[in-house]
Amino acid sequence: MRKTFLMQNPSVLWFISLLAVFTIAVTLMSEATGVSLISTSFIKTLGKTLCLCLVAIAMDVVWGYCGILSLGHFAFFGIGGYAIGMWLMYARTETIVAQSLASQPIPPTSQEISDAIGNQIFGVVGSSEFPMIWAFADNLFLQLLMVVLVPGLLALVFGWLAFRSRVTGVYLSILTQAMTLALALYLFQNDSGLRGNNGLSGLQNIPGFEDTSQATISIVFFMASALALGAGYVFFAWIVSGKMGSVVKGIRDNEARVRFLGYHVESYKLFIFTTTAVVAAISGALYYPQAGIINPGEIAPIASIYLAVWVAIGGRGRLYGAVIGAAFVSLLSSWFTGGGAPDINLGFYTIQWTDWWLVLLGLSFVAVTLFFPKGIGGLFDYLVRKQP
Amino acid sequence: MIRLLVLALALYLTAPPAGFAQSLQDVLQTHRDEVLKPGRRSVGIVLDDLVASGLPQALPFLEAWRDREIVQRDSDGLFFRARKQSLYDLDTGEVIGVFEKNNLTASRPNGGVRRAIANALVQFQMSDPDIVKRRAAVDAVARSMDASQLEPLAASIDAEADAALKARKSRLVSMLRALFEDTTNARVEAINTLAGDLSVDVRAVLNKVLASEAGVAAKLPDNENIARVLEVGEDITAENAYAWLVEAELAPPLVSNAQIRDALLTNINSGMVGTLPVAALNTEAARALAYDQLAAEGLAPPRVKEAERANAIAEHVFYLAYTEPDPAITDAAQKALTAIETKVALSQTVDLGLDALSLASIYFLAAIGLAITFGVMGVINMAHGEFIMMGAYTGFVVQQFVPDYTVSIVVALPLAFAITFAAGVLMERLVIRHLYQRPLETLLATFGISIALQQLAKNIFGTQARPLTSPEWLDGALAFNDVIAISYIRIAIFALALMFLALILFVLKRTRLGLEVRAVTQNPGMAASMGINPDRINMLTFGLGSGIAGIAGVAIGLYAKVTSEMGADYIVQSFMTVVVGGVGNVWGTLAGASMIGFLQKGIEWLYPSNTLAAQTYMILFIILFIQFRPKGIVALKGRAAAD
Amino acid sequence: MSMLLEVNGVSVTFDGFRAINNLSINFAPAELRAIIGPNGAGKTTFMDIVTGKTKPDEGSVVWGEKNISLLGLSESQIARVGIGRKFQKPTVFEAQSVRQNLAMALKTPRGPLAVLMHKKTKKNAERIEAVAEQIGLYDSMTSTAGALSHGQKQWLEIGMLLAQQPRLMLVDEPAAGMTPDEREKTTNILKAAAKTTAVVVVEHDMDFVRRLDCKVTVLHEGAVLAEGSLDYVTSNQTVIDVYLGRAHA
């Protein structure tokens, strides 16, 4: 059965092969193998980009295939990051605290350890108490479960409320944006229990692997991200092909008609919304240990809109389009804003790309929407059409 | 006695009697010793005589005396004022020689005396012919609220010519009497006259009367004026209750975990504490066990057991007692305060309502343009916030060229409208026109424009906030009483919102353009076949919506900061307003703006210190609201509503 | 004979306009029925009520042998009990192939999990092909629905209706925009379906209705004006006054 699935979707096979070649090539050229053609920081950038590609695929499925322009999927991404960040920060602080308390004349009680950890983590917001939401932070397995459960439940409840009352189109987009804004504002508060606008930091230090070099850790995360992207690609390609894909695309094009065919449209939307939210959270959980820090600014509504921009530029309604868009725009963006692009001297004015990149992005986005609604992925249609 | 003196003084000031031929020097000479070495008691006599003399030169003398500038000439015992190396005659105020330290003795009144002098000065000033000085004197009394000021103040009321100051004086007298009158009846009477006064100082006086102290005893004392008995667990936590007991030395202090740890640390004996090895002391139970052993050996104070603590608390009663012993007075004060607080709460509600109203008008201004484009064209304009920003920056730029703030605002309003109108038309022609029937893509394309415009503004005007100064006549606030006040700028914004409501209703309901707009809204195809050019209508509608955003930008800029990101702050609220209100209806937008404005102020009132929480809860509420009224407050029904 | 669908005393009002006024109408399990009436007679609103798109203000809509009330069911539930609908304007999924359109309509479990785990079977493929054959789109199975002509889209939608295997088909203006030959074929398809299923056709075209050769219900101002054979209703004076008279004027 799997064989026929891959046979029927050659693009999946192509994608997986390319991803595998890319991953192996990058790994071989990394500092971890001693070749050192690619710096550790660039490996991290590549690993992060792969995670962004994964969340872009999720966005593409919910928007390009199901027609729900969610402006909240980056919030799920952020929740995944926060969930894993809580464990990373707790476990690491615990190690540090244990070391510092070990030199004391009498051994510390569990309460003293907990107080010391709380003080370390929450001192910055003037507190030392562990809030309720940190209840599972000491247990990697439970906290990994939280990575999936928290955004999953949030998406389930929000989606159920929204789809049940038949909020669609731009209304739904605005509503998801409001949800994202509410979440970001909540996290900005100092008493949110997640360190307010300080966010969680030091996430690049993996507890238990203090002696492993960042070069090795980065390559492990890079490979994990590649694996997750590959798995996510196959998973979503499987979902959107076949009958499920038919129904989902039908909902996108004419929701009422699908309903009159006897399909419970709300369940399908909820399934897609929740599944993609969970995948977004998983990619966030892989992204933030590579980024090292997460704060509420990452969750702000603008991030979710950028996600939609990537997918639109890459070409929605095709999974590889989302990957291309996310990789292309995010890498280009860091090249421009990082000062990589040369300034252009017009004689009377020098265009500094750090200032003008967003203007360029905004305008090119308008151009893509107007003139290339199929995005970069649309170019493949030309190639395929010319071949036979 | 003082009252009599002040009366005499007042009489003197109104009709100076001719009988007094005394000079100031004479008065001082009769109290020569007291003037030179004034004591807290003896100074009273001097002051009384000075006041009784009714001499106008007594006032500068008192000031000089307070400032330690009075000297006595050793040779003849006469008093002079010494200032900047010169000697002045006290009666004429003229210079009569130079200051020579050798043959002069300075009068050095101590702190208490100087206070008494200052009080006497107040008495003089209270009846000063100059109203500015009288006001200053009243202010001084209001600041110090001293018992001694009651009588001179009360005495000066009748002669007070200025009505406002007279009212203020009598109110101040009531406040002083409430605090310092001798008899219970008089104080209660004074307190009763204060009821109904909303000012903060009256509330402070009543709270001072009602000041209470925490108390704890085995049984409720009879000799104290009890404010209330505190229930442990309800009014006061068990921890706090026990802390009171410890403070009152009715119970031994608790031994904290830190103290246990310290005691253990000092008693480590070759790796053991008592019978326990140090390594085993990693639980609280083990530490407690070891500590108890130390306590049994007398090496540490014993721990207070949970049961002992509970017992101690149960055996005592915790209460608040008024410092004022007379229950009649505290009852009256309590009653007056309750009455005032009810009135204050009422006024605060009204004030909150006014605040909410002005917030609602801002939201209305920000959202109405969006509502028009959304309602008429089904187009979500994510760049609407940036049009608001453009309007605000237009105001800022105009103020760079037109220095007069009134003129600049008058110029800026139409200019902002023109600029954003043009920008809106341009955007409609270049982008939105090509995306009709694709609302989600319009949303994204306009978002692209939004980020480009935002960054452009950042590049031009920088990231720091730019001021947009309002004209002077908009400064200040309209105050209805001590609690209710609304700033003129908010009234202006409210008026602007009303104007635009009227204008838009007029355009939509009474003009040819409005008729065509409504026709295109309801059935574009039919409208086109009747000779209406939908292209033109769409263009004008979009221009109008954007133009209003520009005007809103100037208005918002006047009371908030102008930054490149200000549009983003308003866009979500504006969308909420439109969605909550119901699409395609001016009244819906008004209803939505009112609801969100009042809601936000209401939640802010519930969470005063946390505006972020207020916003979070408001958005959650709106998400839930959409569940119950997906089409907004003012919903279109029937076939028209079906897509 | 017990009725498949009984509509009793149904009324619905939009903003003061009474679109359906105390309407009562019944359908047998296997019959062909034509509904005619002037514009605004409430034909489409009647279909909306039966399929659950519009909730009536009063009245009852009772379905099947177990006498289930349709008023408490959602659109998708109503579709699942066996009511299929073809819209006035052909609505097929233009981005998908003819085969995918038919496969989506095919009577199979409708739950998300069942759909996700759905496997293509030979039996289903045969059913799809049979329907495609019936509507004359067998050769266009792989082309996208958007590429079909208007008449073909109409047939595809009728085909989707057939694939659904409903017990009641509501067909809104199936012959609109068709050539005489195509109409002939459409008539045959509907007549064949009516042997096992209740088929309700809303149509303006009198010739088409005549060709269907079935019981006719005339709607006017949201209520039944007359019912019977086409000859009977066309000779009815009231019908001539309110409908035919105007149509022929």
State how far the alpha carbon of B70 is from the alpha carbons of A243, B78, B88, B121, B506, in Å: 106, 10, 10, 16, 78
- Residue A359 distance to chain B (closest CA, Å): 4
Residues of chain A contacting B610 with CB distance shorter than 8 Å:
189, 191
Residue of chain C minimizing CA distance to B636: C15
Tens digit of pLDDT for each residue in B165-196?
888 888 888 888 888 888 888 888 888 888 77
542-581 of B, contacting A, C-beta below 8 A:
568, 572, 575-576, 579
What is the pLDDT confidence band of residue A234, given thresholds at 50, 70 and 90?
Answer: very high
- Residue A243 distance to chain C (closest CA, Å): 6
Give residue C168's pLDDT: 92
Provide mean pLDDT across the span C119-128.
Answer: 87
Task: Inform me whether the pLDDT recorded for B290 exceeds 60.
Answer: yes
Non-local (6+) Cβ contacts of C233 within 8 A are C36, C216, C218, C226, C227, C239
Alpha-carbon torsion (A285, A289, A291, A295), positive or negative: positive
Q: Give domain status of residue A353, yes or no.
A: no
Residues of chain C contacting A257 with CB distance shorter than 8 Å:
87, 91, 93
Q: Angle, to 10 degrees, between the axis of helix B43-53 and the axis of helix B58-66?
A: 150
Give residue B643's pLDDT: 38
CB-CB under 8 Å, C15 with B637: yes
Alpha-carbon torsion (B336, B342, B347, B348), positive or negative: positive
CB-CB under 8 Å, C115 with A243: yes
Provide mean pLDDT across the span B374-388.
Answer: 84
Chain C interface, Cβ < 8 Å to A: 51, 53, 74-77, 79-80, 84-85, 87, 91, 93-96, 100, 103-105, 110-112, 115-116, 118-120, 160, 164
* Count of structural domains, chain B: 2
Higher pLDDT, residue B275 or B415: B415
Tens digit of pLDDT for each residue in B203-250?
888 888 888 888 888 888 888 888 888 888 888 888 888 888 888 888
Whose tokens are 């599972």? That residue is A136
Provide mean pLDDT across the span B133-150.
Answer: 79
186-245 of B, contacting A, C-beta below 8 A:
none
Q: Give domain status of residue B451, yes or no.
A: yes
Q: Given CB atoms, is A212 within the 8 Å cutoff of chain B?
A: no
State how far the alpha carbon of B432 is from the alpha carbons of A70, B80, B385, B519, C47, in Å: 21, 90, 17, 20, 36
Mean pLDDT taken over chain B:
82
Fold entry, domain C5-92+165-248: Rossmann fold (3.40.50)
Q: Give domain status of residue B290, yes or no.
A: no
Q: Give domain status of residue A376, yes or no.
A: no
- Residue B414 distance to chain C (closest CA, Å): 40
Residue of chain B minimizing CA distance to A312: B444
Q: How many CB atoms lie within 10 A of CB B525?
A: 9
Residues of chain A contacting C85 with CB distance shorter than 8 Å:
260
Interface confidence, given as ipTM, is 0.88
What is the pLDDT confidence band of residue B4, given thresholds at 50, 70 and 90?
Answer: low
Q: Give domain status of residue A15, yes or no.
A: yes
267-286 of B, contacting A, C-beta below 8 A:
268, 273, 278-279, 281-284
Residues of chain A contacting B259 with CB distance shorter than 8 Å:
none
Task: Inform me whether the pLDDT recorded for B394 exceeds 90.
Answer: yes
CB-CB contact of B9 with B58 (8 Å): no
What is the pLDDT confidence band of residue B605, given thresholds at 50, 70 and 90?
Answer: confident
CB-CB under 8 Å, B637 with C17: no
What is the pLDDT confidence band of residue B87, given thresholds at 50, 70 and 90?
Answer: confident
CB-CB under 8 Å, B444 with A365: yes
d(CA B291, CA B305): 13
Chain B interface, Cβ < 8 Å to C: 637-639
A-B contacts (CB, under 8 Å): 153
CB-CB contact of B82 with B106 (8 Å): yes
CB-CB under 8 Å, C100 with A263: no
What is the pLDDT confidence band of residue C246, given thresholds at 50, 70 and 90?
Answer: low
Tens digit of pLDDT for each residue in A178-217?
889 889 988 988 878 888 888 998 898 888 888 888 889 9
Tell me the CATH number at B376: 1.10.3470
CB-CB under 8 Å, A108 with B458: no
Helix locations, B511-533, DSSP H = 512-522, 524-529
What is the pLDDT confidence band of residue B19, given thresholds at 50, 70 and 90?
Answer: very low
Residues of chain C contacting A239 with CB distance shorter than 8 Å:
116
Provide mean pLDDT across the span A257-270.
Answer: 92
Provide mean pLDDT across the span A49-65.
Answer: 95
Task: Inform me whether the pLDDT recorded for B492 exceeds 50.
Answer: yes
- Residue C54 distance to chain B (closest CA, Å): 9
Residues of chain B contacting C52 with CB distance shorter than 8 Å:
none
Task: Inform me whether the pLDDT recorded for B639 exceeds 70.
Answer: no
Give SS3 for B227: strand
Listed ranges A44-58, A344-358, C150-164; the one with the highest mean pLDDT: A44-58
Q: Give domain status of residue B331, yes or no.
A: no
State how far the alpha carbon of A271 is from the alpha carbons of A240, A250, A264, B376, in Å: 12, 15, 11, 34
Q: Given CB atoms, is A359 within the 8 Å cutoff of chain B?
A: yes
Residue of chain B minimizing CA distance to A373: B441
pLDDT-above-90 percentage for chain C:
8
**Which residue, B190, B220, B235, sits at the end of a domain?**
B190
Q: Give domain status of residue A297, yes or no.
A: no
Tell me which of A260, A266, A268, A374 to substitute to probe the interface with C (most C C-beta atoms closer than 10 Å). A260
Residue of chain A minimizing CA distance to B610: A189
Q: Given CB atoms, is A340 within the 8 Å cutoff of chain B?
A: no
**Which residue, B157, B190, B223, sits at the end of a domain?**
B190
- Which two structure tokens, joined as six digits, stand for C49? 């009520």
* C198-202/C168-172 β-pairing: parallel
Q: Given CB atoms, is A171 within the 8 Å cutoff of chain B?
A: yes
Q: Give domain status of residue A357, yes or no.
A: no
Task: Inform me whether the pLDDT recorded for B91 exceeds 90.
Answer: no
Provide mean pLDDT across the span B111-116.
Answer: 80
CB-CB contact of B194 with B178 (8 Å): yes
Give residue B642's pLDDT: 40
CB-CB under 8 Å, C74 with A262: no
CB-CB contact of C10 with C213 (8 Å): no
What DSSP state is assigned to residue C242?
I
- Which two structure tokens, joined as six digits, stand for B437? 């029937």
State how far the alpha carbon of B163 is from the alpha carbons of B3, B139, B170, B194, in Å: 22, 16, 11, 18
First vs last C-alpha separation in chain A: 28
CB-CB under 8 Å, B638 with C17: yes
CB-CB under 8 Å, A264 with C76: yes
Tens digit of pLDDT for each residue in C169-225?
999 888 877 888 888 888 888 888 888 889 999 887 888 888 888 889 988 888 888
Give SS3 for A213: coil
Mean pLDDT taken over chain C:
86
Non-local (6+) Cβ contacts of A200 within 8 A are A82, A85, A86, A88, A89, A194, A288, A293, A294, A295
- Nearest CA to A328 among A49, A20, A23? A49
Amino acid at site A24? I
Provide mean pLDDT across the span B267-272.
Answer: 80
Task: Inform me whether the pLDDT recorded for B16 exceeds 80.
Answer: no
Provide mean pLDDT across the span C142-158.
Answer: 87
Higher pLDDT, residue B251 or A149: A149
Residue of chain C minimizing CA distance to B641: C14
284-323 of B, contacting A, C-beta below 8 A:
284, 287
Domain that holds residue A216: 2-291
Residue of chain C minimizing CA distance to B635: C15
pLDDT-above-90 percentage for chain B:
9
Provide mean pLDDT across the span C72-81.
Answer: 89
Residue of chain A minimizing CA distance to C161: A261
Q: Give domain status of residue A300, yes or no.
A: no
Q: Given CB atoms, is A356 within the 8 Å cutoff of chain B?
A: yes
Q: Give domain status of residue A72, yes or no.
A: yes
Provide mean pLDDT across the span B14-26.
Answer: 58
Domain that holds residue B517: 345-641
Task: Inform me whether the pLDDT recorded for A4 exceeds 70.
Answer: no
- Which two structure tokens, joined as six digits, stand for C44? 């489409």
State how far the alpha carbon of A138 is from the alpha carbons of A113, A133, A287, B500, B521, in Å: 12, 11, 21, 58, 58
Provide mean pLDDT across the span A170-182.
Answer: 86
What is the pLDDT confidence band of residue B636, given thresholds at 50, 70 and 90?
Answer: low
Give residue B11's pLDDT: 46
Higher pLDDT, residue A217 or B486: A217
Give residue A323's pLDDT: 94
**Which residue, B158, B175, B190, sits at the end of a domain?**
B190
Min mean pLDDT across A223-237, B29-43, B331-345 is at: B29-43
pLDDT-above-70 percentage for chain A:
97
Residue of chain C minimizing CA distance to A238: C116
CB-CB under 8 Å, C112 with A267: yes
- Residue B451 distance to chain A (closest CA, Å): 6
Task: Inform me whether the pLDDT recorded for A94 exceeds 60.
Answer: yes
Could you please report the per-residue DSSP string of B164-223?
HHHHHHHHHHHHHHHHH-SSHHHHHHHHHHHTT---HHHHHHHHHHT-EEEEEESS--SS
Task: Inform me whether the pLDDT recorded for A305 exceeds 80.
Answer: yes
Give residue A1's pLDDT: 44
Higher pLDDT, residue B505 or B101: B505
Task: Inform me whether the pLDDT recorded for B547 exceeds 90.
Answer: yes
- Residue A11 distance to chain B (closest CA, Å): 26
Residues of chain B contacting A300 with CB distance shorter than 8 Å:
none
Task: Inform me whether the pLDDT recorded for B258 exceeds 80.
Answer: yes
Task: Inform me whether the pLDDT recorded for B603 exceeds 50.
Answer: yes
Min mean pLDDT across A238-252, A327-341, B96-110 is at: B96-110
Q: Partners of C207 in the beta sheet?
A: none
Q: Where are the domains of chain C?
A: 5-92+165-248
A-C contacts (CB, under 8 Å): 74
Give residue B59's pLDDT: 77
Subunits close to B (at least 3 CB pairs below 8 A): A, C
Q: Give domain status of residue B209, yes or no.
A: no
Provide mean pLDDT across the span A221-230.
Answer: 95
* Count of structural domains, chain A: 1
Q: Given CB atoms, is B490 within the 8 Å cutoff of chain A?
A: no
Q: In b/e form, how buried is each residue of C7-25, taking b as 16+ CB within 10 angstroms?
A: beebbbbbeeeebbeebeb
d(CA C72, CA C62): 11
Give residue A16's pLDDT: 92
- Residue B280 distance to chain C (closest CA, Å): 56
Give residue A25's pLDDT: 92
